[in-house]
Amino acid sequence: MFNKGLNISKTRFALLVWLAMIILASFTLLRVVLVIRDWNLIDPSLFELCHIFGLGLIYDIGFIGYFSIPFVLFLAVLPNKLFNSAIFRYLAQGVGFLILYGLCFSSIAEWFFWSEFGVRFNFISVDYLVYRREVTNNILQTYPVFWILPILFIITLAVFFAVRPLFIKSMEIKDKFSRRIFIAVCLLLIPVAAFLFLNQSQRSFSSNNYVNELASNGPYQLFAAFRNNTLDYRQFYKTSDNQTLSPILKDQVKEANSKYYGKDLYNIDRRIEAKSPPRKLNVILISVESLSAKFLTRFGEQKNLTPFMDKWFKQGMLFTNFYATGTRTVRGLEAITLSIPPTPGRSIVKRPDNGHMYSLGKVFKDRGYDTTFLYGGRGYFDNMNTFFSGNGYRIVDQTDLSDKEVTFQNAWGVADEDLFNRAVVEANKDYASKKPFFFHIMSVSNHQPFTYPKGKIDLLPGEGGSGSGRDGGVKYTDYALGRLIQKAKKEPWFDDTVFVIVADHCAASAGKIGLPIKKYHIPLFIYAPKYIKPGENNKLSSQIDIAPTLLSLLHFSYDSFFFGKDILAPDFKGRALIANYQKLGILNDKELLILSPEKKLSRMDINAKKPTLEKVQVLSPFVQDLMSYYQGADYVLRNRLNRWTDNRSDLAVN
């Protein structure tokens, strides 16, 4: 009621009120179910539960307010004659049914999204809407969609007929235009208030990330992700004086054998001079989909999921304290290719005007290599083809494989075996033409729906067999890698080829804190038995360090704008950059520092019995290291400093 004489339940807007109450009840029910599901992850207390359901209610109302805007405006201006007509009555019931069905679909989609990612709808869900072909096929191959949709239809039908009398009764009311306008203005105050006072920062109230996600609203988060596709670093993050941070960054990335070309702000353009003659070896770099370190026996897995890698990784150089920079494939590709910290918002791979950047591929192409990106799926996905072709790579993706070459495919692309077989064919062509090659291969098999050719691995259905789970996906990926090496050993180019195996990211990224360290731990393995001795390296490092380390092993001299460093250098200082699309972190052996929107800066003692995030009060040297990396990367990208040019000063300056 607005007052005693204006009962909204006795106006045409009662139609919206009943619908809003159903939507609100649905949001609350989903929140209750998710809380019960992950009760052990949220350390529940009365305070946390109040946070989850109190703030959750505010976000729910905020979304409903936004969602209602077109309906409020329509009901305000629609004449009584049309509103009370039979045509409108049927039309309104149809729209109401579709909204209820969409609500049911959204709820079940959130359940599955939470099961996979441990978060409400976010940046990932935006990409899922953009790339509908792959995502739709993935959903159809993963979930019993043709059972779910009819069940949702029946549920919607039951709810609709239960509330239908209320809908019809509301459509019999006659309202004066002045009263309709007054009520509409009052209702529109809700989305106005949400726009002015509600944003993403309020949900980051708890130190437990699961609590913050449960207090969110999925559809609200989805639209917020659209709005925050990119984030202005200077507006949202804590910054410091560029004159102070620039020399700190240059000091961090400089190596003993490097000299800078210029002294401008954040200009880390430098010359790396090798001390030994170059090894013009072939390179096959494979970024493996979702290969978490935890899947390997070396890191504690007991299911024998990676029998080939467990043996193979003892024959080369295994980096055991290595981390992904992000949680998406494009973040891994960005870090491996450009050796640059992850900046907030979307990956550089997906941004416009992302060509002609200093890249690992450019170094090889300048030396006459066939520089090729091979992808098991369709390279338009996540803008991969545009990014790699714009930076000098030749592209081979699913569309280039003939029907004879494809023995198996699913929503995301061809089986890893098929992709690796094509890589061998491409390598043989280059060898025959006496051209060295650098192949960056991106696999797809270890991805939901986890389907792969039958009869390849020893897992039975229900134990990770074809299409039945992550274990099968991991074990098939291991099998395919074994087949690749088995075939490569028979080729004349094998002895002079370096194999690099690294994950693009971990299999899961959700955790209690914004950047759960274990969910970034991945293996890096470099294998060339003729040139690299077996062993393990335990230095703390991350994907931005791959390019400098590989080029150092090849004894290449080159121009660099890489933020990473050679892990094998005696002066390498262990640290790892890890991030998601909003939180930007740096890790050493003692603490994790995180930059967050709203200019927040926090730290966590990783050696504490119960690590928790706390606000940072003092700008310590490690804090300045953190800020120099991310503020420097933002400055470099905004000013296009890492774009290569053929015009080069003859002499570098110290």
When comparing pLDDT for 423 and 46, which is higher? 423
Average pLDDT in the 99-113 region?
87
575 vs 227 pLDDT, higher one:
575
Task: Identify which has the larger pLDDT, 138 or 250.
Answer: 250
Query: What amino acid is encoded at 154 in this protein?
Result: I
Contact 348, 568 (CB under 8 A): no
Instruction: Give percent of the chain with pLDDT exceeding 70.
Output: 90
Distances (CA, A) of 82 to 17, 65, 92, 153: 20, 25, 11, 29
List pLDDT tens digits, range 177-192.
999 999 999 999 999 9
339 near 548, Cβ under 8 Å?
A: yes
pLDDT at residue 3 in the model: 43
pLDDT at 649 over 50: no
CB-CB contact of 371 with 441 (8 Å):
no
Give the rounded distance of the alpha carbon of 319 from its chain centre. Answer: 23
SS3 state at 369? coil
The CB-side HSE value for 381 (13 A sphere, CA atoms) comes to: 23
Q: What is the mean pLDDT of residues 557-583?
A: 94
Average pLDDT over residues 395-408: 94
Mean pLDDT of the region 409-435? 94
List the structure tokens of 219: 């559809």
State both tokens at 457: 């691995």
**Strand, helix or coil at 610?**
coil
Beta strands in 543-616 (DSSP E): 558-560, 576-579, 584-587, 591-596, 600-605, 613-615
Alpha-carbon distance of 372 to 365, in angstroms, equals 9
Kindly give the residue spans of alpha helices, DSSP state H, lying in 38-131: 46-50, 56-77, 80-83, 86-117, 123-130
- Per-residue pLDDT, averaged over 476-493, amounts to 97
In the block, tokens 């990119």 appear at 230
Task: Kindly list the distances between the CA atom of residue 136 and the CA atoms of 129, 143, 168, in Å, as whole numbers in the listed order.
Answer: 9, 11, 36
Q: What is the mean pLDDT of residues 95-108?
A: 90
What is the CA 145 to chain-centroid distance, rounded?
25
CA atoms lying within 13 Å on the CB side of residue 58: 15
Mean pLDDT check: name the lowest of 231-235, 462-466, 542-546.
462-466
pLDDT exceeds 50 at position 654: no
The residues spanned by each domain of the chain are 8-227, 242-284+324-454+483-520+534-638
The string of DSSP letters for 441-500 reads EE--SSSTT----TTSSSPPTTTT-TTS-HHHHHHHHHHHHHHHHHHHTTSTTGGGEEEE
pLDDT averaged over every residue in the chain: 88
Percent of the chain past pLDDT 90, that is, above it, reads: 58
List the single range of 403-412, 413-422, 537-546, 644-653 with lowest mean pLDDT.
Answer: 644-653
Q: Is the dihedral of CA 332, 333, 338, 342 positive or negative?
A: negative
What does DSSP assign to residue 593? Answer: E
Place of tokens 């001079």: 273
First to last CA, the chain: 74
Q: Is residue 395 classed as helix, strand or coil in its secondary structure?
A: strand
CA contacts within 13 A on the Cβ side of 236: 20
Question: Rounded distance, CA 622 to CA 624, Å?
Answer: 5
Hey, which CATH number is domain 242-284+324-454+483-520+534-638, 3.40.720.10, 3.20.20.70, 3.30.420.10, 3.30.1540.10?
Answer: 3.40.720.10
What's the mean pLDDT in 132-154?
72
Residue entry with tokens 């009052």: 186
Determine contact, residues 82/88, Cβ cutoff 8 Å: yes
Top pLDDT among 9 and 301 is at: 301
CA distance 450 to 469: 6
Average confidence (pLDDT) over 92-105: 91
Q: What is the pLDDT of residue 216?
A: 86
Tokens found for residue 82: 């049309």
What type of residue sits at position 633?
Answer: A
d(CA 72, CA 81): 18
Taking 60 as the threshold, does the pLDDT of residue 592 lie above it? yes
| pLDDT band at 129; cut points 50, 70, 90 | low
**Of 110-114, 423-427, 586-590, the least confident:** 110-114
3-state SS assignment for residue 163: helix
Residue written as tokens 């030994």?
Answer: 276
What single-letter amino acid sits at 483? R
- Lowest pLDDT segment from 370-374, 408-412, 494-498: 408-412
* pLDDT of amino acid 651: 38
d(CA 379, CA 400): 10
111-138 mean pLDDT: 65
pLDDT computed for residue 209 by the predictor: 74
Task: Using alpha carbons, list the distances in angstroms from residue 362 to 106, 356, 372, 558, 561.
Answer: 44, 9, 11, 10, 11
Kindly report the CA angle at 406 between 404 and 410, in degrees rounded to 5?
Answer: 150
Identify which of 196-205, 404-413, 558-567 has the greatest average pLDDT: 558-567
For 368, list phi and psi in degrees, rounded to 5.
85, 15
Q: Are 171 and 84 in contact (CB under 8 A)?
A: yes
Pick the more confident residue, 495 or 198: 495
Sign of the dihedral defined by the CA atoms of residues 194, 196, 201, 202, in that order? negative
pLDDT at 148 over 60: yes
d(CA 30, CA 38): 12
Under the banding of pLDDT at 50, 70 and 90, the label for residue 311 is very high
